[in-house]
Copies of this chain bind each other. A is one copy, B any other.
Amino acid sequence: MRQGKTFIICGPSGVGKGTVVARLLASNPNLYFSVSATTRQPRNGEVDGVHYHFLSREQFQSWIAEDAFLEHAEFVGNYYGTPKKYVDAAMAQGRDVILDIEIQGAEQVHRQRPEAVRIYVAPPSWAELERRLIGRGTEDMEKVRSRLERGKQEFAAASSFDYFVINDTVDHAVTEITAIMTAEHCKPDERIAMIDK
């Protein structure tokens, strides 16, 4: 049985990454979506192990000490991180894993696991990203501008990524990410071992 691979998916706020990831998961039951761990309080309806693995600060810190995270960070007083064990268990079962994380987290994972494939989901243009951010209607113009600015900075930082997928339509982005996953399993290391058997 083939070993699973890890695919890191990053992208600027407003690009529609959540919809793309949901469609990927719906179309491929063999994909495993990595659930983050956090120390923040569960919100109404959030289920432990589904939306997050909810940990106490003490637990989280002991997992950090045990090197049990692929990446972690602290935001506004709460820890967030990607536990290794679920990712590794899924890959050992032959499942590909999606990490939907921030670009700083992607850099941490890349240092530990350079073989993890990094995909950046980009808008067709910055003007279109601005339209999508305004279209959500949830933020004032100042916040929209600051998100855009951050998106552009991240885009520059993502130039070392393996792939860029442009989310012009969800169908198109899903097709491209699916193709990337298929292609990555055709790399010589994996295949030569299969044929040698």
Contacts and interface: CB of A to CB of B under 8 A. Distances in A.
Interface of A: 119, 122-126, 155, 159-166, 175-176, 178-180, 182-184, 186-188, 191-192, 194-195, 197
Please state the number of chain copies in the assembly.
2
**The 8 residue pairs across chains A and B that have the minimum distance between CB atoms:** A164-B191, A179-B182, A183-B183, A179-B179, A163-B186, A180-B183, A179-B183, A122-B195
A182 B176 contact: yes
A125 B195 contact: yes
Contacts of A161: 188
23 contacts: A122-B191, A122-B195, A123-B195, A124-B195, A125-B197, A159-B192, A162-B187, A162-B188, A163-B186, A163-B188, A164-B186, A164-B192, A164-B195, A165-B186, A165-B191, A166-B195, A175-B182, A178-B179, A179-B179, A179-B183, A179-B186, A180-B186, A182-B183
Contacts of A176: 182-183, 186
A174 to B, nearest CB: 12
A192 B108 CA distance: 23
Contacts of A155: 195
A36 to B, nearest CB: 26
A28 B124 CA distance: 24
